[in-house]
Structure 1
Amino acid sequence: MSDQPLDGAVALVTGASSGIGAATARRLAREGAAVALVARRRDRLREVASGIAAAGGHAVAVEADITEPDRAEGAVQETLDRLGRLDILVNNAGIRLLSSALHTAVEEWDRMVALNVAALLHITHAAVPHLIYAASTSPRQTADVVNVGSAAARAARPSSSVYSLTKSGLSAFSESLRRELLGERVRVSVVEPGAVDTELVDHLNGTTRDAARRQLAGMEALRPEDVADAIGYIVTRERRVAVSQMLVRAGDQTW
Structure 2
Amino acid sequence: MTNRVALITGAASGIGAAIATRLAHEGAAVALLARRADRLEKLAARIVESGGTAIAVPADVVDEESVAAAAAQVQERLGDIDLLVNNAGLMKVVPFEALPAEQWRRLIDVNVNGMINVTRIFLPTLKRSAATKTTDLVNVSSIAGERFMAGMATYGASKAALTYLSRALRIEVAGDGIRVTNLEPGMTGGTELADEFPADLQAMVDEIRTSLPAIQADEVADLVAYVVSRPRNVNLSRVVIQPAKEI
1:194 to 168, 180, 186: 186
How many angstroms does 1:247 deviate by? 0.3
How many angstroms does 1:69 deviate by? 1.0
User: What is the rounded CA distance, in whole Å, between the counterparts of 2:181 and 2:71 in structure 1?
Assistant: 19
1:110 to 105, 126, 140: 105
**What amino acid is aligned across from residue 155 of structure 1 in structure 2?**
R
2:176 aligns with 184
User: What is the rounded CA distance, in whole Å, between the counterparts of 1:129 and 1:122 in structure 2?
Assistant: 13
Unaligned runs of 5+ residues in structure 2 are none
TM-score (norm 2): 0.96
SS at match of 1:47: helix
2:3 aligns with 8
The correspondence of residues 56-205 of structure 1 with structure 2, limited to 5 A, is 56-137=51-132, 141-197=133-189, 198-205=191-198
How many angstroms does 1:201 deviate by? 1.1
The correspondence of residues 25-36 of structure 1 with structure 2, limited to 5 A, is 25-36=20-31
SS at match of 2:224: helix
SS at match of 2:131: helix
**What amino acid is aligned across from residue 153 of structure 1 in structure 2?**
G
Residues 37, 61 of structure 1: 8 Å contact kept = yes
Residues 99, 208 of structure 1: 8 Å contact kept = no
SS at match of 2:80: coil
TM-score (norm 1): 0.93
Matched, 1:217 2:222: no
**Identity across the alignment (%):** 38
Aligned residues: 246
User: What is the rounded CA distance, in whole Å, between the counterparts of 1:68 and 1:216 in structure 2?
Assistant: 34
Provide runs of 4+ in structure 1 moved above 4 Å: none
**What amino acid is aligned across from residue 228 of structure 1 in structure 2?**
A
Give the root-mean-square deviation of aligned CA atoms: 1.1
User: What is the rounded CA distance, in whole Å, between the counterparts of 1:69 and 1:94 in structure 2?
Assistant: 16
User: What is the rounded CA distance, in whole Å, between the counterparts of 2:64 and 2:201 in structure 1?
Assistant: 31
1:232 aligns with 225
User: What is the rounded CA distance, in whole Å, between the counterparts of 1:73 and 1:142 in structure 2?
Assistant: 24
Q: Which moved more, 1:72-81 or 1:182-191?
A: 72-81
Deviations 1:92-128 (A, max 9, x none): 0001111001222122211210100011000000011
Residues 10, 83 of structure 1: 8 Å contact kept = yes
1:3 aligns with none
User: What is the rounded CA distance, in whole Å, between the counterparts of 1:72 and 1:151 in structure 2?
Assistant: 27
Deviations 1:149-190 (A, max 9, x none): 001012121000011101011111111110111110001111
